[in-house]
Amino acid sequence: MAKALISIDYTYDFVADDGKLTAGKPAQAIENKIAQLTQEAFENGDYIFFAIDGHDEGDVFHPETKLFPPHNIRGSKGRHLYGKLGVVYENIKSDSRVFWMDKRHYSAFSGTDLDIRLRERHVTTIILTGVLTDICVLHTAIDAYNLGYKLEIPAAAVASLTKENHNWALSHFQNVLGAKIIE
């Protein structure tokens, strides 16, 4: 059966030093690995989904406005893919196996047609990369698990604000969701 790599929120606002909600150095440290794995997945014939947080400026109704500063505003540079992953995306984006999906919530499945697109393509295994390990990657993993997908998480291609949060999420993926952690 087919595989899909889902790249979650590896954008300027979440990664750059001056990003609006940045994970900073831990997120920057995975730049080479996330770009490499995305390129390899593409070369292997896997499907690639860029699930990217998108908010409307001034949206007071979104629950995140009470938790976080405005970030990943549609039309802003904050939504651009960060660094080398942006280069990979530019080189592969016109391929029919590559998708950009706007998401409003933590999970890439919440309010999107991701599950439908994966099932249409007979995807059974999902590889998750991106940020934050303990928030958007975690919520996506939980939804994927509940929908019956097999999970692979490359530890060097996900990052969080703290090492403790990162390690907790990796343990949760493996011990509660049955994910394969790739070292």
Decide if 37 contacts 165 (C-beta within 8 A). Answer: no
- pLDDT, tens digit (0-9, with 9 covering 90-100), for 89-105: 999 999 999 999 999 99
Go through the domains of the chain in sequence order and give each one's CATH number. Answer: 2-182 (3.40.50.850)
What pLDDT score does 52 carry? 95
- H or E element that contains 35: helix 31-43
Give pLDDT < 70 ranges for the chain: none
Residues paired with residue 98 on neighbouring β-strands, in sequence order: 48
What pLDDT score does 68 carry? 80
- The answer to whether the bond into 132 is cis (omega within 30° of 0) is yes
Cα distance between residue 81 and residue 9, in whole Å: 8
pTM equals 0.95
